[in-house]
Structure 1
């Protein structure tokens, strides 16, 4: 399922090379505007139902949005089949930048690669991508005054508009990717997944709740990780040996 046709004409009109906020924060890509928040389209609708690992972020940031839109633009111009465009954009852009490097290091330390037969978590984002599904609580990028929404103001569970995206898009993804270990990144993401667990919609056993958000802006990341690393390592081993 992809909405790429709806946005195709504008994407193909964009110039080659890096794209600016002025080119992407436009009405042609705007999905919704509410409570000082703007939500924009990004080609992230591919769901890998066979994944063994599901990693959930807050929402794509501008870095991820720009890469994904650029990827989709190039694919449209190259004649890539539309049902492949979202998959290719997500592979390129998900957790791109320093976040991906930090995330890979943490996944390696909790011995995820060994549990699923890989040498390094880095291959999950490349040649072994079929084992991974990446997503966000809010699938589409959310911005406040042009800045990335960080999950706190307002909290997702207290925002009618944001929680609606979580329950109508993220929850069906969790149910579709049914055999995966679920790794929510950070407190705001874990709170949403925990709410689904509390309602009996998702099994607690498959959720690794202690993983800190890998953003470089998370100054407490390393301390949080060291505190919970051994417990997560044990849970990973138990999940994949069941």
Structure 2
């Protein structure tokens, strides 16, 4: 049983009991938050994979939920709401979405509400639904390249085909070029409407030093997509 009142560490969580798959230097571990799907969402944000921070927060919240007797769905939903895009990445994301006037189209004061009182409008997910690590570090989608890895590519496509088939009439926001390239594959399969996707949106990680330029280069185009879809 994991401790509920102490900060969980990699030694607690990157263990065989939570290991789902190992492929060379890649390891996939279980975390509960992407088990919850919100089919009524109007905005879907697609990242690459949950990172260590998201995994730790999700499991910490899930442990507390199980202790107080919440249902499995309540546990997974609570874990998702606490963990998704935690930290400065969430602030960067909110600022960019507000700049595109998404909050106005949703009739809310700011996209910050998507992570608070209006979470019912939002669904977040990842190409790789469960946390993937490369040599015990967060997997970024590049080493190895996700599209070039048959193992990762197939996992992503199968997961997204299933998940996005449940979601209707929503704006889909792929975070960065790797997420965008996988969604383009689904467009090519006629599994996804290209007009529903916000192409050109940069990954909001602070480690992405090109995000400001990429956002500025695509800002007008993305504003039109947001306005036309809603």
State the TM-score, normalizing by the size of structure 2: 0.97
> Which residue of the partner structure matches residue 207 of structure 2?
217
Selected match of 2:222 from 207, 214, 232: 232
- For structure 2, the 5+ residue unaligned runs are none
Shift of 1:154: 1.6
Structure 2 SS opposite 1:67: helix
> Which residue of the partner structure matches residue 38 of structure 2?
48
More displaced stretch, 12-21 vs 178-187: 12-21
Structure 1 SS opposite 2:70: coil
1:152-189 Cα shifts (integer Å, max 9, x gaps): 12222221221222122122111111211100000000
Shift of 1:15: 4.6
Shift of 1:89: 0.4
1:1-242 → structure 2 map (5 Å cutoff): 12-43=1-32, 44-240=34-230
Shift of 1:94: 0.5
1:34-68 Cα shifts (integer Å, max 9, x gaps): 02100000002111011000000000000000000
1:135-159 Cα shifts (integer Å, max 9, x gaps): 0000000001111000112222221
Shift of 1:114: 0.3
CA RMSD after TM alignment: 0.9
> Which residue of the partner structure matches residue 9 of structure 1?
none
Structure 2 SS opposite 1:19: coil
More displaced stretch, 15-24 vs 88-97: 15-24
Equivalent residues of 2:4, 2:60 under 8 A apart = no
Equivalent residues of 2:4, 2:63 under 8 A apart = no
| In structure 2, distance between residues paired with 1:211 and 1:26 | 35
